Amino acid sequence: MAVYTEVSTEEVRALLRQLKLGELQEMQGCAGGIENTNYFVSTQASGKRHDYVLTLFERLNFAQLQFYLRLMKHLAQRGIPVPDPAANAYGDLVFELRGKPAAVVNRLRGKSELAPTAAHCADVGAMLARMHLAGRDFSMTQPHLRGLAWWNETVPVVLPKLSPAQARLILDELDGQNRLARSAAWAGLPRGPIHADLFRDNVMFETVNGHPQLSGFFDFYFAGVDNWIFDLAVCLNDWCVELQTGEHHATRAQALIRAYGAVRPLTAAERELLPGMLRGAALRFWISRLWDYHQPRSASLLKAHDPGHFERVLRQRAEHSTAVDTLIS
């Protein structure tokens, strides 16, 4: 999250009234993330405090946002704990502030767990599988915009910024991912809406009776239709690696995969291609972090991400691809 576009309290107050969410009490810009402008807002309605997140979208357009917000609404209606977009009297979910598309969603309870245990990972795996199954009957479709096509377009742009060793790694892996996507096994992978960015900071936990309980997934603005196993690989590459080294954490990974499989068992093709998908997921985020690092945008609140982290994860996945075999046996 970041603040690129500043809005006034009067503008926000008018939108909240249109959505019948109550009177604005507090408003604060959010730091962190790199894509959109976000504000935490609180209202008073019927004598109670209500907390929301207002997002102004800096890159996504009105048409693209229909997919993301309708998907969130669909999942929320099926019991998946995700932010539920507020609608006006006509059922619209996307509005305009300062010439930008905007939406308001309820703020999830709890906080992100940045040092997860195996129990946290198991909760994420089970809920991810539930989310995939809940999205099967979602009628809208949109490609995963940061998928293979985008990798092929973006690697030539960031390539001049890399060392010879980095360039070899990124080109070799990109070639491998293109070959993987042409395989018969890849063509048969189960597909549907995916989150595509389910990192530790996009999941909330709260403590209930002394135990952590997953309270929600959020930030669906990279979502699209793609292979479910890619979504699982994205999670494994964040929740189940050591942040300092990129090394695989077997215990957490085993917990996440087993919990996912207990809800939606992996197919034979998914089991076969998971090592390749782990490399692809690492490649995707290395490319995007290189892109953001070398082509930064100004923002009044912004926290940059280290491109080197996913380079390390990719090297670990490439050098130790058999490390995941025992987790899906």
For the chain, domains (ranges, CATH) are 9-106 (3.30.200.20), 118-328 (3.90.1200.10)
Contacts of 284-288 with C-beta under 8 Å, sequence gap 24+, read 284/146, 284/147, 284/151, 284/234, 285/234, 285/237, 285/310, 285/313, 286/170, 286/310, 286/311, 286/313, 286/314, 287/150, 287/151, 287/154, 287/155, 287/158, 287/170, 288/146, 288/154
**pLDDT per position as a tens digit, 234-281:** 999 999 999 999 999 999 999 999 999 999 999 999 999 999 999 999
The residues with which 44 forms a beta bridge, in sequence order, are 23, 49
Rounded to two decimals, the pTM is 0.91
pLDDT tens column, 8-65: 999 999 999 999 999 999 999 987 556 789 999 999 999 999 999 999 999 889 988 9
- pLDDT per residue as tens digits for the range 97-137: 999 999 999 999 999 999 999 999 999 999 999 999 999 99
The pLDDT of residue 323 is above 70: no
Number of Cα atoms under 13 Å in the Cβ half of residue 204: 16
Pairing of strands 203-208, 224-227: unpaired
CA-closest candidate to residue 286, choices 213, 133, 177? 177
Treating both helix axes as pointing N-terminal to C-terminal, what angle do 250-263 and 228-239 enclose, rounded to 10 degrees? 150
The pLDDT score that the predictor gives to residue 4 is 85
Residue-level pLDDT at 2: 63
